[in-house]
């Protein structure tokens, strides 16, 4: 297997925990822990932040445990303290299988993925993502994102 390219849009989150102090939300996403991407801060302070932050990452398809990791953080405006609200890990194996079977140069999917607190099975809301995976470099023969 060769190198794969993933276009990710971290769109929004929903069902996040309300707090006594108004939280500002942001997310951090990565495939390679050496290259993390951060969304802008949604300063509205609600429980359904919107980011629509896009990034492109590459990974070696030989890695069986390739995954997209997303962490959602809340920042309290009064004390500027940050707390991890929840994490989601999305295996890329399913996308690679679809890509191998597809006659198209790329596979696109959108979905909501449950956020969980680290070390717990308790749900903490959802993060909405769209992904497009390709075995070509970004922009090489791919249709625009819908």
pLDDT one-digit tens code per residue, 2-56: 788 999 999 999 999 877 667 899 999 999 999 999 999 998 878 899 999 999 9
Burial of residue 117 (CB within 10 Å: 0-12, 13-18, 19+) is middle
The structure's pTM equals 0.86
CATH number listed for the domain at residues 3-134: 2.60.40.150
Residues 120-144 have pLDDT tens digits of 888 999 999 999 999 866 545 444 4
How many angstroms separate the CA atoms of 9 and 56, rounded? 9
pLDDT of residue 138: 52
pLDDT range class, residue 146, cuts 50, 70, 90: very low
């Amino acid at each position: 297997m060769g190198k794969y390219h993933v276009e990710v849009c971290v769109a929004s989150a929903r069902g996040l925990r309300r707090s006594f102090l108004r939280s500002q939300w942001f997310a951090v996403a990565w495939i390679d822990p050496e290259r993390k991407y951060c969304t802008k801060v949604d300063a509205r302070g609600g429980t359904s932040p919107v980011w629509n932050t896009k990034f492109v990452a590459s990974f070696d398809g030989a890695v069986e445990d390739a995954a997209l990791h997303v962490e959602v953080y809340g920042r309290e405006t009064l004390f500027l303290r940050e707390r991890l609200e929840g994490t989601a890990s999305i295996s890329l194996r399913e996308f690679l299988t679809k890509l191998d079977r597809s006659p198209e140069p790329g596979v696109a999917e959108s979905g909501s993925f449950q956020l969980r607190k680290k070390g717990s099975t308790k749900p903490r809301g959802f993060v909405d993502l769209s992904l497009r995976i390709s075995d070509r470099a970004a922009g090489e023969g791919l249709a625009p994102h819908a």
